[in-house]
Amino acid sequence: MHLPADRRCRPLSFVLTPGQAADSPRFTAVLERIRVRGPVGRPRTRPGAVAADKAYSSRANRACLRRRKIRAVIPEKTDQAANRNKRGSRGGRPVSHDAALYKERNTAERCINKIKEWRGLATRYDKTPASYLAGLHLRGAIIWLRSLQPA
């Protein structure tokens, strides 16, 4: 399960993959599924910034974010920095990221913990991907509805 979450730990979209699938290749698929409706107008499909961990630090992911004019808050892997430094002036500029915004990266993990409060989703009792995805959408809708209730 791959998902983006907003700052209030609410899921924005879901992408299901086999358990052994890596995170980084699914990055663009996850971004393309984001649709957030406001009170009027078209749904928003482009966040202002994406905070992710080092697993998503790749040229392809950064290029995708640049094309869509989304600010990347992704630290650079140490081996990528070493390879860039080894190339000298041809290696390009070092990657910078906003440390204060990077601290909010854990919202996706907290959102996953909210989803896994449902035992069936945590233990993956569903046999088919379609029924598991339906449970994810149902749980996501409940999380959104609870966040909209007045405290």
- The 10s digit of each residue's pLDDT in 132-146 is 999 999 999 999 999
Query: How many structural domains compose the chain?
Result: 1
- Residues 6+ positions from 77 with CB-CB distance below 8 Å: 54, 57
Domain containing 142 equals 24-148
**Is residue 15 assigned to a domain?**
no
Choose from 45-49, 60-64, 90-94 the range with maximum mean pLDDT: 60-64
Decide if pLDDT at 17 tops 80. yes
Report pLDDT for 134.
92
Q: Look-up: residue for tokens 């808050």? A: 73
**pTM for this one?**
0.78
Report pLDDT for 151.
64
Q: What is the pLDDT of residues 103-126, one digit of tens each?
A: 888 888 899 999 999 888 888 888
Residue 12: Cβ-neighbour burial (10 angstroms; 0-12, 13-18, 19+): buried
**Is residue 98 assigned to a domain?**
yes
Task: Give Dmax over CA atoms of the chain in angstroms.
Answer: 55
Nearest partner of 135 among 113, 120, 114, 117, judged by Cα: 120
Report pLDDT for 84.
78
- At 26, is the pLDDT very low, low, confident or very high (cuts 50, 70, 90)? confident
**Is residue 18 assigned to a domain?**
no
**Is residue 77 assigned to a domain?**
yes
Tokens of 84: 């860039």
**Is residue 19 assigned to a domain?**
no
Q: What is the pLDDT of residues 71-115, one digit of tens each?
A: 888 888 877 778 777 877 777 776 777 778 888 888 888 999 999
**Is residue 114 assigned to a domain?**
yes
